[in-house]
Chain A
Protein backbone atom coordinates (compact mmCIF):
# COMPACT_ATOMS: atom_id res chain seq x y z
CA UNK A 1 0.00 0.00 0.00
CA UNK A 2 1.35 3.42 -0.91
CA UNK A 3 2.05 5.88 1.88
CA UNK A 4 -0.66 8.55 1.75
CA UNK A 5 0.53 11.88 0.44
CA UNK A 6 1.05 14.56 3.13
CA UNK A 7 -1.91 16.61 1.93
CA UNK A 8 -4.20 13.63 2.56
CA UNK A 9 -2.78 13.35 6.07
CA UNK A 10 -3.31 17.05 6.64
CA UNK A 11 -6.88 16.77 5.38
CA UNK A 12 -7.56 13.85 7.72
CA UNK A 13 -6.05 15.74 10.65
CA UNK A 14 -8.13 18.83 9.84
CA UNK A 15 -11.27 16.71 9.61
CA UNK A 16 -10.64 15.13 13.02
CA UNK A 17 -10.16 18.56 14.58
CA UNK A 18 -13.23 19.96 12.84
CA UNK A 19 -15.36 17.03 14.02
CA UNK A 20 -14.21 17.58 17.63
CA UNK A 21 -12.68 14.14 17.72
CA UNK A 22 -9.34 13.23 19.30
CA UNK A 23 -5.91 13.01 17.75
CA UNK A 24 -4.16 9.89 19.07
CA UNK A 25 -0.40 9.19 19.40
CA UNK A 26 -0.09 7.16 16.18
CA UNK A 27 -2.07 9.59 14.06
CA UNK A 28 -0.26 11.88 11.69
CA UNK A 29 -0.08 15.43 13.04
CA UNK A 30 1.61 18.63 11.87
CA UNK A 31 5.06 18.99 13.38
CA UNK A 32 4.09 22.35 14.90
CA UNK A 33 1.05 20.80 16.57
CA UNK A 34 3.32 18.16 18.10
CA UNK A 35 5.89 20.72 19.29
CA UNK A 36 3.21 23.00 20.68
CA UNK A 37 1.73 20.11 22.66
CA UNK A 38 5.08 18.94 24.00
CA UNK A 39 5.78 22.49 25.13
CA UNK A 40 2.41 22.87 26.84
CA UNK A 41 2.16 19.42 28.43
CA UNK A 42 5.75 19.33 29.65
CA UNK A 43 5.39 22.85 31.05
CA UNK A 44 2.32 21.63 32.87
CA UNK A 45 4.21 18.57 34.18
CA UNK A 46 7.13 20.71 35.34
CA UNK A 47 4.66 22.95 37.17
CA UNK A 48 3.34 19.99 39.13
CA UNK A 49 6.87 18.97 40.07
CA UNK A 50 8.14 22.43 41.03
CA UNK A 51 4.79 23.05 42.73
CA UNK A 52 5.74 20.48 45.37
CA UNK A 53 8.28 22.93 46.77
CA UNK A 54 6.20 25.86 48.05
CA UNK A 55 3.69 23.56 49.72
CA UNK A 56 6.37 21.14 50.87
CA UNK A 57 7.79 24.14 52.71
CA UNK A 58 4.88 23.79 55.18
CA UNK A 59 4.46 20.03 55.53
CA UNK A 60 6.89 19.88 58.44
CA UNK A 61 5.12 22.85 60.11
CA UNK A 62 1.48 21.96 59.45
CA UNK A 63 -0.48 23.05 62.52
CA UNK A 64 -2.31 19.78 63.20
CA UNK A 65 -1.73 16.14 62.34
CA UNK A 66 -4.89 16.11 60.26
CA UNK A 67 -3.64 19.08 58.22
CA UNK A 68 -0.21 17.47 57.88
CA UNK A 69 -1.75 14.26 56.53
CA UNK A 70 -3.99 16.13 54.07
CA UNK A 71 -1.11 18.26 52.83
CA UNK A 72 1.14 15.23 52.36
CA UNK A 73 -1.61 13.49 50.40
CA UNK A 74 -2.12 16.59 48.29
CA UNK A 75 1.54 17.08 47.46
CA UNK A 76 1.79 13.39 46.64
CA UNK A 77 -1.13 13.85 44.21
CA UNK A 78 0.70 16.74 42.55
CA UNK A 79 3.75 14.58 41.97
CA UNK A 80 1.41 11.92 40.55
CA UNK A 81 -0.05 14.49 38.15
CA UNK A 82 3.50 15.23 37.05
CA UNK A 83 3.89 11.55 36.22
CA UNK A 84 0.69 11.28 34.14
CA UNK A 85 1.59 14.44 32.27
CA UNK A 86 5.14 13.34 31.49
CA UNK A 87 3.64 10.08 30.23
CA UNK A 88 1.15 11.97 28.07
CA UNK A 89 4.00 14.06 26.62
CA UNK A 90 6.12 10.96 26.03
CA UNK A 91 3.43 9.65 23.67
CA UNK A 92 4.51 12.53 21.40
CA UNK A 93 8.02 11.11 21.13
CA UNK A 94 9.90 13.21 23.69
CA UNK A 95 11.42 11.32 26.63
CA UNK A 96 11.07 12.35 30.25
CA UNK A 97 14.86 12.80 30.42
CA UNK A 98 14.80 15.28 27.55
CA UNK A 99 11.97 17.22 29.17
CA UNK A 100 13.74 17.20 32.53
CA UNK A 101 16.96 18.44 30.94
CA UNK A 102 15.01 21.27 29.33
CA UNK A 103 13.69 22.25 32.74
CA UNK A 104 17.00 22.00 34.58
CA UNK A 105 18.87 23.89 31.88
CA UNK A 106 16.27 26.65 31.82
CA UNK A 107 14.87 25.98 28.33
CA UNK A 108 11.43 24.94 29.57
CA UNK A 109 9.13 26.94 31.78
CA UNK A 110 6.90 26.03 34.70
CA UNK A 111 4.02 28.01 36.21
CA UNK A 112 5.39 31.34 37.40
CA UNK A 113 3.11 31.26 40.42
CA UNK A 114 5.52 28.87 42.12
CA UNK A 115 8.18 31.56 42.11
CA UNK A 116 6.40 33.24 45.00
CA UNK A 117 7.25 32.19 48.57
CA UNK A 118 4.92 30.54 51.10
CA UNK A 119 5.30 32.70 54.20
CA UNK A 120 2.59 31.50 56.56
CA UNK A 121 0.28 28.54 57.05
CA UNK A 122 -2.47 30.57 55.38
CA UNK A 123 -0.44 30.45 52.16
CA UNK A 124 -1.13 26.72 52.01
CA UNK A 125 -4.82 27.57 52.15
CA UNK A 126 -4.44 30.29 49.54
CA UNK A 127 -2.57 27.99 47.15
CA UNK A 128 -5.27 25.33 47.40
CA UNK A 129 -8.13 27.77 47.10
CA UNK A 130 -6.75 30.20 44.51
CA UNK A 131 -3.92 28.49 42.63
CA UNK A 132 -5.61 25.10 42.40
CA UNK A 133 -8.91 26.90 41.79
CA UNK A 134 -7.37 28.70 38.81
CA UNK A 135 -5.75 25.48 37.63
CA UNK A 136 -9.14 23.73 37.66
CA UNK A 137 -10.78 26.44 35.55
CA UNK A 138 -8.02 25.98 33.02
CA UNK A 139 -7.97 22.19 33.23
CA UNK A 140 -11.73 21.67 32.97
CA UNK A 141 -11.46 23.45 29.68
CA UNK A 142 -8.51 21.20 28.72
CA UNK A 143 -10.58 18.04 29.30
CA UNK A 144 -11.90 18.83 25.79
CA UNK A 145 -8.46 19.39 24.27
CA UNK A 146 -7.90 17.76 20.88
CA UNK A 147 -5.01 15.48 21.87
CA UNK A 148 -6.46 12.28 23.37
CA UNK A 149 -3.84 11.37 26.00
CA UNK A 150 -3.73 14.96 27.31
CA UNK A 151 -7.53 15.18 27.52
CA UNK A 152 -7.72 11.89 29.42
CA UNK A 153 -4.96 12.90 31.85
CA UNK A 154 -6.88 16.13 32.49
CA UNK A 155 -10.11 14.30 33.36
CA UNK A 156 -8.30 12.36 36.06
CA UNK A 157 -6.34 15.35 37.32
CA UNK A 158 -9.44 17.55 37.58
CA UNK A 159 -11.08 15.13 40.01
CA UNK A 160 -8.13 15.35 42.38
CA UNK A 161 -7.71 19.09 41.95
CA UNK A 162 -11.23 19.75 43.09
CA UNK A 163 -10.40 17.99 46.37
CA UNK A 164 -7.30 20.20 46.65
CA UNK A 165 -9.28 23.32 46.04
CA UNK A 166 -11.82 22.38 48.71
CA UNK A 167 -9.14 21.66 51.30
CA UNK A 168 -7.52 25.03 50.58
CA UNK A 169 -10.81 26.86 50.90
CA UNK A 170 -11.53 25.01 54.13
CA UNK A 171 -8.20 26.16 55.58
CA UNK A 172 -9.03 29.76 54.66
CA UNK A 173 -12.53 29.43 56.07
CA UNK A 174 -11.19 28.08 59.37
CA UNK A 175 -8.66 30.91 59.62
CA UNK A 176 -11.21 33.54 58.64
CA UNK A 177 -13.45 32.38 61.47
CA UNK A 178 -10.55 32.17 63.92
CA UNK A 179 -8.64 34.63 66.11
CA UNK A 180 -7.81 38.16 64.88
CA UNK A 181 -4.26 36.92 64.17
CA UNK A 182 -5.58 34.03 62.09
CA UNK A 183 -7.93 36.34 60.19
CA UNK A 184 -5.04 38.69 59.45
CA UNK A 185 -2.96 35.74 58.27
CA UNK A 186 -5.72 34.68 55.87
CA UNK A 187 -6.23 38.20 54.51
CA UNK A 188 -2.49 38.70 54.07
CA UNK A 189 -2.24 35.46 52.10
CA UNK A 190 -5.13 36.50 49.85
CA UNK A 191 -3.50 39.92 49.35
CA UNK A 192 -0.24 38.36 48.24
CA UNK A 193 -1.61 35.50 46.10
CA UNK A 194 -4.54 37.21 44.33
CA UNK A 195 -2.70 39.03 41.56
CA UNK A 196 -0.13 36.30 40.83
CA UNK A 197 -3.08 33.88 40.54
CA UNK A 198 -4.76 36.08 37.92
CA UNK A 199 -1.46 36.10 36.05
CA UNK A 200 -1.60 32.31 35.81
CA UNK A 201 -4.05 32.62 32.91
CA UNK A 202 -1.36 34.31 30.85
CA UNK A 203 -1.28 37.53 28.80
CA UNK A 204 -4.39 39.16 27.35
CA UNK A 205 -5.65 37.28 24.30
CA UNK A 206 -4.38 39.98 21.98
CA UNK A 207 -0.84 39.62 23.38
CA UNK A 208 -0.68 35.83 23.69
CA UNK A 209 1.92 34.24 21.44
CA UNK A 210 0.33 30.80 21.31
CA UNK A 211 -3.38 31.36 21.85
CA UNK A 212 -4.63 31.80 18.31
CA UNK A 213 -2.92 28.76 16.82
CA UNK A 214 -3.72 26.65 19.88
CA UNK A 215 -7.40 27.59 19.62
CA UNK A 216 -7.47 26.65 15.93
CA UNK A 217 -6.03 23.26 16.73
CA UNK A 218 -8.41 22.97 19.67
CA UNK A 219 -5.51 22.35 22.01
CA UNK A 220 -6.91 25.31 23.91
CA UNK A 221 -10.67 25.54 24.03
CA UNK A 222 -11.14 28.89 25.77
CA UNK A 223 -8.96 31.97 25.70
CA UNK A 224 -6.86 33.34 28.55
CA UNK A 225 -9.20 36.25 29.17
CA UNK A 226 -12.33 34.07 29.12
CA UNK A 227 -10.84 31.67 31.64
CA UNK A 228 -9.58 34.49 33.87
CA UNK A 229 -13.04 36.05 33.90
CA UNK A 230 -14.61 32.75 34.86
CA UNK A 231 -12.18 32.38 37.75
CA UNK A 232 -12.79 35.92 39.02
CA UNK A 233 -16.56 35.49 38.88
CA UNK A 234 -16.54 32.32 40.96
CA UNK A 235 -13.87 33.42 43.43
CA UNK A 236 -15.31 36.82 44.35
CA UNK A 237 -18.34 35.09 45.80
CA UNK A 238 -16.24 32.52 47.65
CA UNK A 239 -14.19 35.30 49.29
CA UNK A 240 -17.31 37.18 50.33
CA UNK A 241 -18.79 34.06 51.90
CA UNK A 242 -15.87 33.78 54.36
CA UNK A 243 -15.50 37.50 54.94
CA UNK A 244 -12.21 38.09 53.11
CA UNK A 245 -11.59 41.09 50.88
CA UNK A 246 -10.12 40.75 47.40
CA UNK A 247 -7.34 43.32 47.06
CA UNK A 248 -8.69 45.13 44.01
CA UNK A 249 -10.41 48.53 44.43
CA UNK A 250 -11.75 48.30 40.87
CA UNK A 251 -13.58 45.06 41.44
CA UNK A 252 -17.33 45.48 40.88
CA UNK A 253 -20.29 43.68 39.38
CA UNK A 254 -21.11 44.77 35.84
CA UNK A 255 -24.78 44.18 35.27
CA UNK A 256 -24.57 44.76 31.54
CA UNK A 257 -21.77 42.22 31.01
CA UNK A 258 -23.07 39.81 33.62
CA UNK A 259 -19.52 39.54 34.99
CA UNK A 260 -17.27 41.21 37.52
CA UNK A 261 -15.04 43.99 36.22
CA UNK A 262 -11.60 43.94 37.74
CA UNK A 263 -8.41 45.98 37.73
CA UNK A 264 -5.45 45.63 35.41
CA UNK A 265 -2.76 43.11 36.21
CA UNK A 266 0.73 44.51 36.75
CA UNK A 267 2.16 43.18 33.49
CA UNK A 268 5.65 44.40 34.36
CA UNK A 269 5.63 42.09 37.35
CA UNK A 270 4.27 39.31 35.15
CA UNK A 271 7.13 39.75 32.66
CA UNK A 272 9.71 40.09 35.41
CA UNK A 273 8.77 36.84 37.14
CA UNK A 274 8.35 35.02 33.84
CA UNK A 275 11.80 36.25 32.84
CA UNK A 276 13.42 34.77 35.94
CA UNK A 277 13.31 37.70 38.33
CA UNK A 278 10.65 36.54 40.76
CA UNK A 279 11.42 36.10 44.45
CA UNK A 280 11.96 32.32 44.26
CA UNK A 281 12.97 31.59 40.65
CA UNK A 282 16.55 30.94 41.61
CA UNK A 283 15.86 28.90 44.72
CA UNK A 284 13.24 26.73 43.00
CA UNK A 285 15.61 25.85 40.18
CA UNK A 286 18.50 25.39 42.60
CA UNK A 287 16.38 22.95 44.62
CA UNK A 288 15.36 21.00 41.52
CA UNK A 289 18.93 20.83 40.20
CA UNK A 290 20.29 19.82 43.57
CA UNK A 291 17.70 17.03 43.93
CA UNK A 292 18.65 15.80 40.46
CA UNK A 293 22.41 16.02 41.05
CA UNK A 294 22.28 14.57 44.57
CA UNK A 295 20.15 11.74 43.22
CA UNK A 296 22.53 10.86 40.38
CA UNK A 297 24.39 8.18 42.37
CA UNK A 298 21.05 6.61 43.36
CA UNK A 299 19.87 6.38 39.76
CA UNK A 300 23.25 5.02 38.64
CA UNK A 301 23.19 2.40 41.40
CA UNK A 302 19.70 1.35 40.43
CA UNK A 303 20.74 0.77 36.81
CA UNK A 304 23.97 -0.98 37.82
CA UNK A 305 22.07 -3.33 40.09
CA UNK A 306 19.49 -4.07 37.41
CA UNK A 307 22.28 -4.93 34.93
CA UNK A 308 24.07 -7.18 37.40
CA UNK A 309 20.78 -8.82 38.29
CA UNK A 310 20.02 -9.51 34.62
CA UNK A 311 23.53 -10.84 33.98
CA UNK A 312 23.27 -13.15 36.98
CA UNK A 313 19.85 -14.34 35.84
CA UNK A 314 21.18 -14.97 32.31
CA UNK A 315 24.22 -16.78 33.79
CA UNK A 316 21.97 -18.99 35.89
CA UNK A 317 19.80 -19.83 32.90
CA UNK A 318 22.78 -20.70 30.66
Chain B
Protein backbone atom coordinates (compact mmCIF):
# COMPACT_ATOMS: atom_id res chain seq x y z
CA UNK B 1 0.00 0.00 0.00
CA UNK B 2 1.09 3.55 -0.69
CA UNK B 3 0.46 6.90 0.96
CA UNK B 4 -1.61 7.75 -2.08
CA UNK B 5 -3.86 4.76 -1.48
CA UNK B 6 -4.42 5.76 2.14
CA UNK B 7 -5.04 9.38 1.14
CA UNK B 8 -7.46 8.37 -1.59
CA UNK B 9 -9.66 6.31 0.74
CA UNK B 10 -9.35 8.87 3.53
CA UNK B 11 -10.61 11.67 1.29
CA UNK B 12 -13.63 9.62 0.29
CA UNK B 13 -14.32 9.24 4.00
CA UNK B 14 -13.92 12.99 4.52
CA UNK B 15 -16.52 13.77 1.86
CA UNK B 16 -18.98 11.40 3.50
CA UNK B 17 -18.38 12.67 7.03
CA UNK B 18 -18.45 16.38 6.26
CA UNK B 19 -21.55 16.19 4.08
CA UNK B 20 -23.26 13.93 6.63
CA UNK B 21 -22.41 16.40 9.37
CA UNK B 22 -24.02 19.24 7.41
CA UNK B 23 -27.17 17.25 6.65
CA UNK B 24 -27.58 16.26 10.27
CA UNK B 25 -27.92 19.95 11.15
CA UNK B 26 -31.39 19.85 9.54
CA UNK B 27 -32.67 17.46 12.18
CA UNK B 28 -35.90 18.94 13.56
CA UNK B 29 -35.71 22.01 11.29
CA UNK B 30 -36.88 20.70 7.89
CA UNK B 31 -39.95 22.01 6.04
CA UNK B 32 -42.08 19.07 7.21
CA UNK B 33 -41.82 15.90 9.24
CA UNK B 34 -41.20 13.49 6.35
CA UNK B 35 -38.19 15.61 5.38
CA UNK B 36 -36.79 15.51 8.92
CA UNK B 37 -36.84 11.75 8.55
CA UNK B 38 -35.35 11.75 5.06
CA UNK B 39 -32.55 14.14 6.03
CA UNK B 40 -31.63 12.12 9.10
CA UNK B 41 -31.74 8.97 7.02
CA UNK B 42 -29.41 10.35 4.35
CA UNK B 43 -27.06 11.74 6.99
CA UNK B 44 -27.02 8.32 8.63
CA UNK B 45 -26.06 6.62 5.36
CA UNK B 46 -23.21 9.10 4.92
CA UNK B 47 -21.91 8.68 8.47
CA UNK B 48 -22.05 4.91 7.98
CA UNK B 49 -20.10 5.26 4.75
CA UNK B 50 -17.50 7.47 6.47
CA UNK B 51 -17.04 4.86 9.19
CA UNK B 52 -16.35 2.07 6.70
CA UNK B 53 -13.98 4.19 4.66
CA UNK B 54 -12.07 5.49 7.70
CA UNK B 55 -11.71 2.00 9.14
CA UNK B 56 -10.35 0.82 5.81
CA UNK B 57 -8.03 3.84 5.53
CA UNK B 58 -6.76 3.22 9.05
CA UNK B 59 -5.88 -0.37 8.18
CA UNK B 60 -4.17 0.74 4.96
CA UNK B 61 -2.11 3.23 6.93
CA UNK B 62 -1.16 0.63 9.53
CA UNK B 63 -0.45 3.07 12.33
CA UNK B 64 -3.31 2.01 14.53
CA UNK B 65 -5.62 4.93 13.79
CA UNK B 66 -9.28 3.90 13.94
CA UNK B 67 -12.35 5.63 12.50
CA UNK B 68 -12.60 8.04 15.43
CA UNK B 69 -8.90 8.96 15.42
CA UNK B 70 -9.29 9.91 11.77
CA UNK B 71 -12.56 11.79 12.24
CA UNK B 72 -11.84 13.56 15.50
CA UNK B 73 -8.12 14.03 15.85
CA UNK B 74 -7.05 15.55 12.56
CA UNK B 75 -6.92 19.27 11.90
CA UNK B 76 -8.46 21.24 9.11
CA UNK B 77 -5.42 21.11 6.80
CA UNK B 78 -5.43 17.30 6.99
CA UNK B 79 -9.03 16.98 5.73
CA UNK B 80 -9.35 16.33 2.01
CA UNK B 81 -13.07 16.72 1.32
CA UNK B 82 -14.46 18.76 -1.55
CA UNK B 83 -15.17 22.35 -0.53
CA UNK B 84 -18.80 21.94 -1.58
CA UNK B 85 -19.46 19.46 1.25
CA UNK B 86 -18.44 21.90 3.97
CA UNK B 87 -20.45 24.93 2.80
CA UNK B 88 -23.16 25.95 5.27
CA UNK B 89 -26.58 24.50 4.45
CA UNK B 90 -28.21 27.73 3.30
CA UNK B 91 -31.91 27.30 2.55
CA UNK B 92 -33.54 23.98 1.73
CA UNK B 93 -33.00 24.64 -1.97
CA UNK B 94 -29.27 25.14 -1.51
CA UNK B 95 -28.99 21.97 0.56
CA UNK B 96 -30.88 19.91 -2.02
CA UNK B 97 -29.14 21.29 -5.12
CA UNK B 98 -25.78 20.58 -3.50
CA UNK B 99 -27.01 17.16 -2.48
CA UNK B 100 -28.12 16.41 -6.00
CA UNK B 101 -24.78 17.44 -7.57
CA UNK B 102 -22.91 15.26 -5.09
CA UNK B 103 -25.36 12.34 -5.10
CA UNK B 104 -25.05 11.93 -8.87
CA UNK B 105 -21.27 12.17 -8.54
CA UNK B 106 -21.25 9.52 -5.83
CA UNK B 107 -23.60 7.25 -7.73
CA UNK B 108 -21.23 7.13 -10.71
CA UNK B 109 -18.09 7.13 -8.58
CA UNK B 110 -19.15 4.22 -6.39
CA UNK B 111 -20.55 2.28 -9.36
CA UNK B 112 -17.06 2.51 -10.88
CA UNK B 113 -15.37 1.70 -7.56
CA UNK B 114 -17.20 -1.64 -7.37
CA UNK B 115 -14.61 -2.65 -10.01
CA UNK B 116 -11.67 -1.37 -7.94
CA UNK B 117 -8.62 -3.58 -7.52
CA UNK B 118 -8.87 -2.72 -3.83
CA UNK B 119 -11.30 -5.48 -2.84
CA UNK B 120 -12.29 -3.89 0.41
CA UNK B 121 -13.01 -0.58 -1.29
CA UNK B 122 -15.01 -2.43 -3.94
CA UNK B 123 -17.08 -4.06 -1.19
CA UNK B 124 -17.73 -0.70 0.47
CA UNK B 125 -18.65 0.73 -2.93
CA UNK B 126 -21.15 -2.07 -3.53
CA UNK B 127 -23.09 -0.88 -0.48
CA UNK B 128 -22.55 2.83 -1.13
CA UNK B 129 -23.72 2.71 -4.72
CA UNK B 130 -27.14 1.43 -3.72
CA UNK B 131 -27.56 4.23 -1.21
CA UNK B 132 -26.19 6.85 -3.60
CA UNK B 133 -28.64 5.74 -6.31
CA UNK B 134 -31.50 6.19 -3.88
CA UNK B 135 -30.17 9.53 -2.65
CA UNK B 136 -29.79 10.80 -6.22
CA UNK B 137 -33.33 9.77 -7.06
CA UNK B 138 -34.63 11.66 -4.06
CA UNK B 139 -32.54 14.83 -4.47
CA UNK B 140 -33.15 14.74 -8.25
CA UNK B 141 -36.91 14.66 -7.62
CA UNK B 142 -36.53 17.64 -5.34
CA UNK B 143 -34.50 19.62 -7.87
CA UNK B 144 -37.27 19.03 -10.38
CA UNK B 145 -40.04 19.96 -7.94
CA UNK B 146 -38.33 23.09 -6.71
CA UNK B 147 -36.99 24.21 -10.08
CA UNK B 148 -40.38 23.69 -11.70
CA UNK B 149 -42.53 24.68 -8.70
CA UNK B 150 -43.04 28.41 -8.14
CA UNK B 151 -41.19 31.53 -9.27
CA UNK B 152 -39.74 31.78 -5.77
CA UNK B 153 -38.55 28.18 -5.59
CA UNK B 154 -37.04 28.46 -9.07
CA UNK B 155 -35.20 31.66 -8.12
CA UNK B 156 -33.89 30.11 -4.91
CA UNK B 157 -32.61 27.02 -6.70
CA UNK B 158 -31.08 29.09 -9.48
CA UNK B 159 -29.26 31.19 -6.86
CA UNK B 160 -28.04 27.98 -5.22
CA UNK B 161 -26.82 26.60 -8.55
CA UNK B 162 -25.06 29.90 -9.36
CA UNK B 163 -23.23 29.66 -6.05
CA UNK B 164 -22.45 25.94 -6.22
CA UNK B 165 -21.45 25.47 -9.83
CA UNK B 166 -17.96 26.90 -9.36
CA UNK B 167 -17.30 24.25 -6.72
CA UNK B 168 -17.99 21.36 -9.12
CA UNK B 169 -14.70 21.76 -11.02
CA UNK B 170 -12.65 20.14 -8.28
CA UNK B 171 -14.83 17.03 -8.41
CA UNK B 172 -13.20 16.21 -11.74
CA UNK B 173 -9.70 17.70 -11.55
CA UNK B 174 -7.28 14.85 -10.89
CA UNK B 175 -4.29 15.46 -8.64
CA UNK B 176 -1.27 13.19 -8.09
CA UNK B 177 -3.22 10.90 -5.75
CA UNK B 178 -6.04 10.40 -8.26
CA UNK B 179 -3.57 9.74 -11.08
CA UNK B 180 -1.59 7.20 -9.05
CA UNK B 181 -4.78 5.42 -8.02
CA UNK B 182 -6.09 5.39 -11.58
CA UNK B 183 -2.85 3.80 -12.69
CA UNK B 184 -3.01 1.24 -9.86
CA UNK B 185 -6.55 0.27 -10.87
CA UNK B 186 -7.93 1.44 -7.53
CA UNK B 187 -9.80 4.53 -8.77
CA UNK B 188 -11.77 5.32 -11.93
CA UNK B 189 -10.94 7.87 -14.60
CA UNK B 190 -12.40 11.24 -13.63
CA UNK B 191 -12.88 12.30 -17.26
CA UNK B 192 -15.26 9.38 -17.83
CA UNK B 193 -16.97 10.16 -14.57
CA UNK B 194 -17.44 13.75 -15.68
CA UNK B 195 -19.10 12.69 -18.93
CA UNK B 196 -21.58 10.50 -17.05
CA UNK B 197 -22.23 13.13 -14.40
CA UNK B 198 -22.81 15.88 -16.94
CA UNK B 199 -25.19 13.74 -18.96
CA UNK B 200 -27.43 13.26 -15.93
CA UNK B 201 -27.06 16.64 -14.30
CA UNK B 202 -27.45 18.85 -17.37
CA UNK B 203 -30.59 17.01 -18.45
CA UNK B 204 -32.19 17.27 -15.01
CA UNK B 205 -31.30 20.94 -14.58
CA UNK B 206 -32.80 21.76 -17.98
CA UNK B 207 -35.95 19.82 -17.13
CA UNK B 208 -36.19 21.75 -13.87
CA UNK B 209 -35.86 25.09 -15.68
CA UNK B 210 -32.45 25.84 -14.17
CA UNK B 211 -29.52 27.29 -16.09
CA UNK B 212 -25.87 26.47 -15.64
CA UNK B 213 -24.15 29.79 -14.86
CA UNK B 214 -22.06 31.29 -17.64
CA UNK B 215 -19.31 32.77 -15.48
CA UNK B 216 -16.11 30.87 -15.00
CA UNK B 217 -15.55 31.37 -11.26
CA UNK B 218 -14.07 28.23 -9.74
CA UNK B 219 -12.95 27.34 -6.26
CA UNK B 220 -10.77 24.38 -5.46
CA UNK B 221 -8.26 23.21 -2.90
CA UNK B 222 -10.34 21.02 -0.61
CA UNK B 223 -8.39 17.89 -1.38
CA UNK B 224 -5.12 19.67 -0.62
CA UNK B 225 -6.53 20.78 2.73
CA UNK B 226 -7.08 24.40 1.66
CA UNK B 227 -10.62 24.87 2.89
CA UNK B 228 -13.20 27.60 3.15
CA UNK B 229 -13.43 29.55 6.40
CA UNK B 230 -16.46 27.43 7.31
CA UNK B 231 -14.45 24.25 7.75
CA UNK B 232 -12.73 25.19 10.99
CA UNK B 233 -16.04 25.86 12.70
CA UNK B 234 -17.56 22.64 11.40
CA UNK B 235 -14.64 20.68 12.85
CA UNK B 236 -14.65 22.63 16.11
CA UNK B 237 -18.22 21.51 16.64
CA UNK B 238 -17.72 17.96 15.41
CA UNK B 239 -14.54 17.34 17.41
CA UNK B 240 -15.30 19.30 20.57
CA UNK B 241 -15.95 16.46 23.04
CA UNK B 242 -13.00 14.33 21.93
CA UNK B 243 -10.67 17.32 22.07
CA UNK B 244 -11.92 18.58 25.45
CA UNK B 245 -11.61 15.15 27.13
CA UNK B 246 -8.78 13.38 25.31
CA UNK B 247 -8.28 9.64 25.37
CA UNK B 248 -11.63 8.61 26.83
CA UNK B 249 -14.13 5.96 25.83
CA UNK B 250 -17.57 7.27 24.93
A interface, CB within 8 angstroms of B: 49, 52-53, 56, 59-69, 72-73, 75-76, 79-80, 82-83, 86, 121, 171, 174-175, 178-179, 181-182, 287, 290-292, 294-306, 308-309
Contacts and interface: CB of A to CB of B under 8 A. Distances in A.
A82 B37 CA distance: 10
B150 A61 contact: no
A52 B44 contact: no
A301 B152 contact: yes
30 contacts: A49-B28, A52-B36, A59-B24, A59-B25, A60-B237, A63-B250, A64-B242, A65-B17, A65-B71, A67-B250, A68-B47, A69-B48, A72-B43, A72-B44, A75-B40, A76-B41, A80-B37, A83-B34, A175-B250, A181-B245, A182-B248, A287-B29, A294-B91, A298-B153, A299-B31, A301-B150, A302-B145, A306-B145, A308-B148, A309-B148
Interface of B: 17, 21, 24-25, 27-37, 40-41, 43-44, 47-48, 50-51, 54, 67-68, 71-72, 91-93, 144-146, 148-150, 152-153, 156, 237-238, 240-242, 245, 248-250
User: Which 8 interchain pairs have the tightest Cβ spacing?
Assistant: A295-B31, A301-B149, A301-B153, A52-B28, A76-B40, A63-B241, A63-B250, A56-B27
A300 B250 CA distance: 43
Contacts of B148: 304-305, 308-309
A61 B21 CA distance: 9
A121 B241 contact: yes
A83 B153 contact: no
Contact of A72 (B30, B31, B40, B54): B40
B93 to A, nearest CB: 8
Contacts, number: 145
B24 A72 contact: yes
Contact of A291 (B29, B44, B54, B72): B29
Given A60-B21, A76-B41, 15 more contacts: A60-B237, A63-B72, A65-B54, A65-B68, A66-B51, A76-B36, A76-B37, A76-B40, A178-B248, A291-B29, A292-B31, A295-B35, A298-B93, A299-B32, A303-B149
